Amino acid sequence: MEHLVEISRIIDGALKGDRAKVLAYVEQLARKLREAGDEKAADRLTQTATQTKTSEVAPNIASAVATRLPVDTESRFSLADEEWIDRATAHIVLDSGVQQRVDEFLRFVRAADQLMANRVGISPSMLIYGEPGVGKTELARHIAAQLGLPLITARSDALISSFLGSTAKNIRVLFEHVKSRPCVLFLDELDSVAKLRDDHHELGELKRVVVSLLQNIDALNNETVLLGATNHSHLLDPAVWRRFSYKLELLPPDPEARAKMFGMFLGSFVGDPAALAEYVEISSGATGADLRYVCETAIREAVLADRAIVTDTDVLRALVHLRLGVKADMSRDDAPLVKAVRDISPSVFTLKRLAALFGSSEPTLSRRLNSEDSHGQQRAKAPNQGRPHARRRSPGK
Ligand SMILES: Nc1ncnc2c1ncn2[C@@H]1O[C@H](COP(=O)(O)OP(=O)(O)OP(=O)(O)O)[C@@H](O)[C@H]1O
Ligand SMILES: [Mg+2]
């Protein structure tokens, strides 16, 4: 049977006298019918729902429901943010294995009717973990956009109330809200709950919060798509971890994904396509957020210089900053810095490129490199006097 999910939720809402839930799922069902070309049935459904008590119902059912995001009773801050994401604006680039897992998740969630009818339904939940900037939040936006549902992002600052006892209540209120409408609930920065351990909260409070989170997740009853994200998977309570049927680790992008990202972030400003391979080579280990920073910095340079495309120098300068830190001041052709840049990749940072980056001549730079190389050899003979290896710093975060 088609649309089993929506119909069962409408019945559930009606039996419990939950008007908002009935209206929200009627809206969702009508949208699906319209997409399938059945305008008549969609109009009829919407009419039936809105005629029940016309005075109480706004013309656009979804907007009437959406305006009631719950708030923290003490601070009055909204407990969540709501976003409708246009498919065209949620661009995510993933390594192919990860992309397959995401596609599989989307297929299973879309086919919930069929899977439920055959008793092999899944809990539509995914925990996304990985270091900052790898695209966890972006992936949650992509999933909501693909499912055509609003993304309700829990605001951990508002949710975790400074008043003892209120945090668990806030969690319950938020979960009650998401159960009343079709949406994707996104618990971003899930580790913030675990971090309560370091705060002034006592351990008993933390336990209550975790128990409340678990109970509420369980009570979702497979009806709401639940996404969670964390940078610190090891801090998560194992019981929270187990609640998610899909666990997806996002890593810094592989070369193929980096090439796509450079193309995507540079957009119409992309210059020499042949140079893309070089950008990819020297950006190993960078996250999507790092690459976005690099491309946006390069585009700014191009815009200020009144150019319609970026040059290699624009992009390479930003990449050097990414690798060596923003303090790598290329306005001075300081010998150790010239060498550090060349050592990122001697095949990319040729004398010609170095000359363009440092605004200096090739013979001068060649002298700097020779002097630095001979110093280096002397230092190697006298160990412990060399400079410590510079750690990679990301100015993008
Ligand atoms: N895989 C990716 N595909 C496309 N864009 C990406 C990707 N990863 C990062 N980005 C870009 O970097 C920005 C920051 O990424 P995002 O906020 O999703 O990272 P995050 O993993 O949630 O980081 P944090 O742990 O700091 O919250 C995004 O808005 C997006 O523009
Ligand atoms: Mg994030």
Range of the domain at 291: 255-381
Among protein residues, the one whose CA lies closest to atom 18 of ligand 1: 135
Element (H, E) at 227: strand 225-230
- Token pair, residue 254, equals 């592989």
CATH of the domain at 199: 3.40.50.300
Backbone angles phi, psi at 373, to 5 degrees: -65, -40
Say if residue 105 is in the same domain as residue 231: yes
Q: Which residues line ligand 1 (CB under 6 A)?
A: 91-94, 132-138, 231, 288-289, 292
Nearest ligand for residue 230 CA? 1
95 and 209 together in one domain: yes
Instruction: Identify whether the C-beta of residue 244 lies closer than 8 Å to the C-beta of residue 229.
Output: no
Residue 65 C-alpha from the chain's centroid: 26
Which pLDDT tens digits describe the chain residue by residue (397 residues)? 678 788 888 888 888 878 878 888 888 888 888 888 888 888 888 888 777 654 444 444 444 444 578 888 877 888 899 999 988 888 899 999 999 999 999 999 988 877 777 887 788 999 999 999 999 999 999 999 999 899 999 987 777 766 667 888 888 999 999 988 889 999 998 887 766 655 555 667 777 788 888 899 998 877 789 999 999 888 888 888 999 999 999 999 999 999 999 999 999 999 888 899 999 999 999 999 999 999 999 999 999 999 999 999 999 999 999 999 877 888 887 888 999 999 999 999 999 999 999 988 899 989 988 887 777 666 666 655 444 443 444 444 4
Q: Is residue 209 part of a domain?
A: yes
Do 330 and 277 sit in the same domain of this protein? yes
- Calculate how far, in angstroms, residue 361's C-alpha sits from the geometric centre of ligand 2: 43
388 belongs to a structural domain: no
Rounded Cα–Cα distance for residues 371 and 62 (Å)? 70
The verdict on 355 and 278 lying in the same domain is yes
> Over the range 149-174, which residues count as b (16 or more CB within 10 Å of their CB) and which as e?
bbbbbbbbebbbbeeeebbbebbbbb
- Please state the atom number of ligand 1 nearest to the C-alpha of residue 94: 1
First to last CA, the chain: 49
Give this prediction's pTM: 0.80
Residue 252: nearest ligand to its CA?
1
* 135 φψ region: left (φ > 0), alpha (ψ -120 to 50), beta (else): left
